[in-house]
Amino acid sequence: MKILLLGPPGGGKGTQSKLLVSKFNIPQISTGDILREHVKEETQLGIEANQYMQNGELVPDNLILDMIKERLLKNDCNKGYILDGFPRTIPQAEGLDRILEKLNQKLDKIVVLDVKDNDIIKRMSGRRMHMESGRVYHIEFNPPKNEGLDDVTNDKLIIRKDDQPDTVKKRLSIYHKTTKPLIEYYDSKNIVFSIKGNKKIEDIHNEIITKIQNV
């Protein structure tokens, strides 16, 4: 199963991806998580990407496509994967088409999480994250068992630097201008379905599963 999750920043892509990983036992490929790992390790890519990420801007397409090409060749992708946060520009989608053609693969389902900007701003201000694993929480909507600590490792949770309100607004504006047009780009493939994101995390998950298995 090869699934692409599309949606605004803070729309719940990471949260839903983690649930799908448990359900289907396939890897989540989050370009945001991979980039944050590079930033932490201070690799050349991480150093280059960091300035864009902190400003809430997109990292250049060529860097992202090289990174994805390498990731999709790993053995754990043989059974399928969940693309989270990639592609987010038309050139990235075209690049993905070329990569998939070479690998003789195709996407099975594209899930669009439809969440209003005002809800996103509320969600981002309460998000807490475990850096190592990419696990995400919300102080109100999805709190950890112990305040401020990751459920699995007990490590301290952090607030992402790009979750500051001004940066969130910029990320949302880039989403509307640059990433949302991908819905139309993929529409003709007849594998796209949209889900209202203003529901409980578990309800959205169940709706995704039903649609994935029935469509």
Active site residues: 13, 88, 127, 160, 171
- Residue from 11, 95, 107, 208 that binds ligand AP5 (CB under 6 A)? 11
Nearer to ligand AP5, 63 or 191 (CB): 63
Nearer to ligand AP5, 141 or 185 (CB): 141
- Residue from 2, 4, 9, 110 that binds ligand AP5 (CB under 6 A)? 9
- Residue from 4, 10, 20, 186 that binds ligand AP5 (CB under 6 A)? 10
> At its nearest, how many Å lie between ligand AP5 and the CB of residue 158?
12
- The angle that helices 61-72 and 31-41 make with each other, rounded to 10 degrees, is 100
148-187 footprint of ligand AP5 as x/- string (CB under 6 A): --------------x--------x----------------
| Site size toward ligand AP5, by CB under 6 A | 38
Residues 77-136 that bind ligand AP5 (CB under 6 A): 85-86, 88, 92, 123, 126-127, 136
Nearer to ligand AP5, 55 or 153 (CB): 55
Spell out the SS3 assignment of the chain: CEEEEECCCCCCHHHHHHHHHHHHCCCEEEHHHHHHHHHHHCCHHHHHHHHHHHCCCCCCHHHHHHHHHHHHCCHHHCCCEEEECCCCCHHHHHHHHHHHHHHCCCCCEEEEEECCHHHHHHHHHCEEECCCCCCEEECCCECCCCCCECCCCCCECECCHHHCHHHHHHHHHHHHHHHCHHHHHHHCCCCEEEEECCCCHHHHHHHHHHHHHHC
- Residue from 15, 20, 110, 208 that binds ligand AP5 (CB under 6 A)? 15
- Residue from 82, 107, 137, 208 that binds ligand AP5 (CB under 6 A)? 137
Residues 31-70 that bind ligand AP5 (CB under 6 A): 31-32, 35, 52-53, 56-59, 64
User: CA nearest 104: which of 67, 84, 65, 77?
Assistant: 77
Query: Could you list the residues that contact ligand AP5 (CB under 6 A)?
Result: 7, 9-15, 30-32, 35, 52-53, 56-59, 64, 85-86, 88, 92, 123, 126-127, 136-138, 141-142, 162, 171, 197, 199-201, 204
